[in-house]
Chain A
Amino acid sequence: MLKELSELVGVSGGERKIREFIRNKIEQDVDEIIEDPYGNLIVRKGDAKKPKILLTAHMDEVGFMIVGIEKKGLLKFSTIGVLPQVILAKRVIIGDKSVNGVIGTKPIHQMKEDEKTKLPEVKNLFIDIGVSSKDEAEKLIQVGDLGTFDTKYREDGDTIFGKAFDDRIGCHILIHLLKHTDLPMHCAFTVQEEAGLRGAGIVAFRVRPDIAFAVDTTASGEWPSDKDIPQYPQIGKGPVITVADRSIICDKQLVSLLQATAREQNIPYQLKKPMIGGTDAGPIHISRKGVRTAALQTPARYIHSPLSIASKKDIELGIKLLACSIEKARKEESLWN
């Protein structure tokens, strides 16, 4: 399932294929299923009223939007969550017709001296789909089409390689919990997280949860450093608990609950480097009168790029930690009553 989730294309605003795939997978396992007007997929399993626990994972991934077609059929694009550093000369796949292309870059022979050391701006880049005229291009592509990297998934022992792990790993975890546990809960597969945490607030407003967990993917920090500063989190060392990031200071009691559960169950865990990035937990916790919210993430190297690397063990441990934490939270009335 990770392979399929990783290879499907679903850039922010164009999550249809992901939504359909997930819907098919879980339809038999849930009691209620809603697609809201914004495209979020919200499901309920069991009598999930007291306490009402919501888990979210976002369906969308980073990528591009086509914003113009040039005379010779080259495509101008804007980016969603990616920088020139990671997109040059990469294979891409665009639109409903899954057109293949490449982010064009000049060969070394044709670069001027300063171009060899300078990073181009996105506005000077283009996608080449192998046509020679605007007419040909227009038959395949429309302005507004979304695209992303064309990356095949592969596994090597515990290590997995692929695109869109942010946040298809989260989707995988939620699907797994719905299929293989009887925990009463709401799960939401949200849209447009990468475009500014847009879907999750709408979900929280509808569901009105007592407790929420955003299940996402986070950048691992295995970079060499010249200072004596420990780098973390790392892949293969367990799921990552957020204390605070740019979008939320996580509920202190929920963070403690996640940590206590991990210790009781002998699940290794790591803390996220504070105040970096943001997740769906942000809009959820300030929804209506406020929601106790925490975030649990799977570490992955090179997120927001064509190829990420993650560990299956981290995912399995994340599933276990979430399942045990939900059970524990259900018993702790002070959290929700």
Chain B
Amino acid sequence: MELAKKLCNAYGPSGREDKIRKMIESEIGNSCQRMEVDRLGNLIAYVPAKSKDGVKEEKNTRIMVCAHMDEIGLIVTHIDKKGFLRFTNIGGLLPERIVNQRIIFENGTIGFIGVETKPETPKPPRIDNLFIDISAQDRKEAEDKVGIGDIASFHQQAVIINNRMTSKALDDRIGCYCLIETMKLLKENKNDLYFVFTVQEEVGLRGARTGAYGIAPDYAIAVDVTVTGDTPECRKMDVGLGKGPAIKVKDALFLASPIVKNKLVAYAKETDTAYQLEILERGTTDAAVVQIIKEGVLSGVLSIPTRYIHSTNEMCDLGDVEGIIKLLLSVCEKGLS
């Protein structure tokens, strides 16, 4: 699981995926025929169909498997006289969850999130009541390290306790990990496979759209995290940690193709993998835009049940992660038709 930790610890908020992409490139170089980085920064790895006897059909079915590289983050909007930074969100941030957290910029500058403490400061605070302290003495010293428009991610090392992993960026580095492991384990595949590590999911599913347009797949599977309903007094949700991969039925913007969803369920049964069906009321993932690209793409989602999503301590179960990899392998080896 060292790789999963490494991926989770890497810097890569939306629009600043260079570092995480390079890390993934070096992991998958030997597991694909070729790699391409498109203009938005998606990493697309191509694995052509191959069978035991080496015979390849003329027109292969194309399957796109994607997970997003980017994570939520912060962007600097102001630097004040004393060298404190004001910021706003990149992706869905809850201000009350990020107070006192550590953050890091692309150039390695580390900062801490503080909150105004006047009696009239709203509770919970709004994002404009927060600031970043990078230990600068004044504006000039701060400006030597960061500028307006610089983007930070959270800075929190991943830990594994009792087969559960906690990190600032399980969303969606754990999905990237599942894709990488699947690529490494893959022995034969009936279809042409495109493993796509997408950019800018958290700001509006932007990378998946251009990635899918270029590939024009017949089928697509997105791998991403989903929320659970198994913590005290939480919003109702019939997905829990440790109960196996979640096969998505629907979310706020997406209805899974019944063909794909049923095939995923069939593979789970075939491989004796525990699974859960997921209906997510709020939120969505890359599959929502891939599904309606060009003439349409039969699409499904495999979700890793995850607690505390969009906090600096997202938690998942490694047994569920294994289950996802198993199902992905079935999809890649045997296809979805």
Contact = CB atoms under 8 A, between A and B. Distances in A.
- Chains A and B belong together in one complex: yes
Contacts of A286: 40, 206, 209-210
Contacts of A271: 147-149
A297 B76 CA distance: 19
Contact of B75 (A274, A285, A288, A290): A274
Nearest to A230: B78
Contact of B82 (A228, A251, A291): A228
B88 to A, nearest CB: 5
Given A249-B203, A252-B15, A288 B210 contact: yes
A227 B210 CA distance: 41
Interface in A292-306: 292
Interface in B1-28: 14-16
A273 B77 contact: yes
Given A244-B149, A289-B210, A230 B79 contact: yes
Contacts of A249: 14-15, 90, 200, 203
Nearest to B84: A228
Identify which of B39, B42, B209 gathers the most chain A CB atoms within 10 Å of its CB.
B39
A244 B15 contact: yes
A64 B317 CA distance: 54
A230 B88 contact: no
B78 A243 contact: no
Given A249-B200, A289-B39, A291-B39, A229 B78 contact: yes
A243 B75 contact: yes
A290 B38 contact: yes
Contact of A288 (B14, B42, B213): B213
Contacts of A230: 78-80
B286 to A, nearest CB: 13
A244 B148 CA distance: 11
A275 B15 CA distance: 13
A243 B148 contact: yes
Contacts of B151: 244
A275 B75 contact: yes
B261 interface: no
A289 B78 contact: no
A273 B149 CA distance: 8
A221 B14 CA distance: 26
Interface string A90-120: 0000000000000000000000000000000
Nearest to A275: B88
B77 A275 contact: yes
Contacts of B78: 229-230, 273
Contact of B214 (A244, A273, A285, A289): A289
Given A289-B38, A290-B38, A229 B86 contact: yes
Interface string A237-280: 00000011000010110000000000000000001011100000
B81 interface: yes
A201 B41 CA distance: 20
Contact of B149 (A274, A287, A290): A274
Contacts of B90: 244, 249, 275
B77 A274 contact: yes
A252 B41 CA distance: 10
A292 B39 contact: yes
Nearest to B13: A249
Contacts of A285: 40, 206
Contact of A290 (B16, B77, B89, B210): B210
Contacts of B200: 249
Contacts of B82: 228
Interface string A172-190: 0000000000000000000
Contacts of A228: 80-82
A292 B14 CA distance: 15
Contacts of B16: 252
Nearest to B70: A249
Contacts of B14: 249
Interface in B54-106: 75-82, 86, 88-90
Contacts of B88: 274-275
Nearest to B215: A289
Nearest to B42: A290
Contacts of B213: 288-290
A288 B294 CA distance: 9
A271 B149 CA distance: 8
Interface string B205-228: 011011001100000000000000
A167 to B, nearest CB: 22
B212 to A, nearest CB: 10
Contacts of A227: 80
A227 B84 CA distance: 12
Contacts of B79: 230
A29 B207 CA distance: 37
Given A228-B81, A289-B38, A274 B148 contact: yes
A244 B78 CA distance: 14
B185 to A, nearest CB: 30
Nearest to A272: B149
B97 to A, nearest CB: 19
Interface in B121-155: 147-149, 151
Interface string A206-234: 00000000000000000000011110000
A290 B207 CA distance: 8
Contact of A275 (B39, B81, B89, B209): B89
11 contacts: A229-B86, A249-B203, A273-B77, A274-B88, A285-B206, A289-B213, A290-B38, A290-B39, A290-B213, A291-B39, A292-B39
Interface of B: 14-16, 38-40, 42, 75-82, 86, 88-90, 147-149, 151, 200, 203, 206-207, 209-210, 213-214
Given A274-B88, A285-B40, 15 more contacts: A227-B80, A228-B81, A243-B75, A244-B75, A249-B15, A249-B200, A252-B16, A271-B148, A274-B76, A274-B77, A274-B149, A286-B206, A288-B210, A288-B214, A289-B214
Q: A-B pairs with the 3 shortest C-beta distances?
A: A249-B15, A243-B149, A290-B210
